[in-house]
Structure 1
Amino acid sequence: MSLKYTMEVIELLDDVNANGESVVRLFDGFEHCTATYETVAGQEGSTDFVKVVIKGTEGKSSGGDARTLGIVGRLGGLGARPQRIGFVSDGDGAAAAVAIALKLANMSVKGDRLPGDVIVTTHICPTAPTQPHEPVDFMGSPVDILTMNQYEVVPEMDAVVSIDTTKGNRVFNHRGIALSPTVKSGYILKFADELLRIMEMTTGELPVTFTVTTQDITPYGNDVYHINSILQPAVATDAPVVGVAITAQTAVPGSGTGASHEVDIAQAVRFSIEIAKEFTRGEIEFYDVEEFALLEKLYGSMKHLQTLGSDK
């Protein structure tokens, strides 16, 4: 099931030679799936942006009108080589995203195709830099967040699930996964009840959630504190975005090795796949459309929080 694909993907990514080509090859031969990658250079090296589209029976890529779910695997890098040997904790988001795509691709050839398309994006970099952060160091990236959003958040996505390791803090005291409230167009909205229901079903436990601050939904580069990049996709789209955090009870640095737990990553995979099934069928919403319209009528647009601000 999900754990099998998670383990297969981690084995592939835990390699100094991991790259976009090796990930794309995983999807060779799947009739209803297209996988591509593009190498992008930054100031501190390069990374391979991967995009996998699992086509739905009534998806937009096939001329239909079913909704498209975007799944973004957020990270700085898979490894911090040569400073650190092996797969780092920060790579969990990419591992989850690729495992989701692989599971959905396999489902599609076994007769379990979703109505709508699912677009999975992430990037593959086994030699990323690190950067200072409190309370533990973060992984850096060869490219900036603006570039990540450019390649990972695409207009076809009607809603976005952003998966990111979120262990480098003292806010969480839970090992597993946690869900954010929905973020849309600069507003932090209430938790989506239907996503909480799916979390209960897939984990077999009470839902675990995490708080989002205004700082977290503003773009990197504005000199304010962000817990991490999990909600950075929300600055690049007006589609609703939720964060699925892979968490720990203690503060674990993103550059820490031996800190990835396959079972926890598989939880994120299973949860996201169930979201995809129901969202592309039109059975769930990430936010209350009417209430959001009322908020904007009462208080105006909050899209300025998607920018770097007036002093930048």
Structure 2
Amino acid sequence: MTGLPLALEMQAPIEAALSRLREGSAEQCLSDRTFSNLYLFRDAHDYRYLPGEWPCISGRTYDGVRHLMPLFSPADAPVDVLRELLRGHDCLYPLARCDAQRLPPGLFSQTDSPDDADYLYAARQFTDYPGRALAHKRSQIRQLLGAHRLHAKPFDESHCTAAQEVLQGWMRQKGKSAGEADEQACIEAIAHAARLGLEGFVHFADGLPVGFVLAQALQPRVYAMRFAKGLDTHIGIYPYMFQHFCRNFTRPVDWLNFEQDMGLAGFRRSKRSYGPAALIPKLRVRLRG
């Protein structure tokens, strides 16, 4: 692919463009539209920056499709510009439904996959875990609190070591080798959290680190849960951490975005178990002919 490999020095222009695209999208904001997400998963998707009058990010989806993420509203570009930009790429992706609706009718085809869709939850799902369907989450939290002394600290650079200990413990428990899963992205997220706009908590049980969450504001009151790691030895740590975030974060939380499940059965079961309010589609848009 053409373009420049993503580097931290590119943060300002890319984030400024993505901020304009996020503006006004409220809870429907796509989780992909932040520099931090692009930078941390630059190797997984072979992301490249294409600067210029019509800047873009090129990359590959998890299922191998070559795509172009425009850093502008596609409807603002002439069709000939889009045609030229798409040379060597299969589609524009990810586009929000409102972006695709503004394109000239008849010239584009649109598809979406449930594997790509973001999971969106109302924060009240986590603050109280209401109803029969979430009773097991309430039960897990009660058991966790009954068995351990828990406390949490807002994440800052002084808690990097504790978060890294949790990550390594999580890797061992999951039987992952170095570099597998999202280990490298998570290591960089911990190291560059402040610069990348990641905020959250490190959780301790009986004085030892057992979990952490790092989230990112997509819009006011809307947060993407970028990384959540907890030790399997402490059943209930995940529902507890999500509840704690929604109840104790320094700013109001109305919505959480858990990103996509990538078609992985385990991710899908876990994310659906919390009762999502909606799945936010991410469109793949192709120019006809």
Q: Which has the larger radius of gyration?
A: 2
The answer to which structure has the higher helix fraction is 2
Structure 1 and Structure 2 fold alike (TM over 0.5): no
Normalising by structure 1, what TM-score?
Answer: 0.25
Normalising by structure 2, what TM-score?
Answer: 0.26
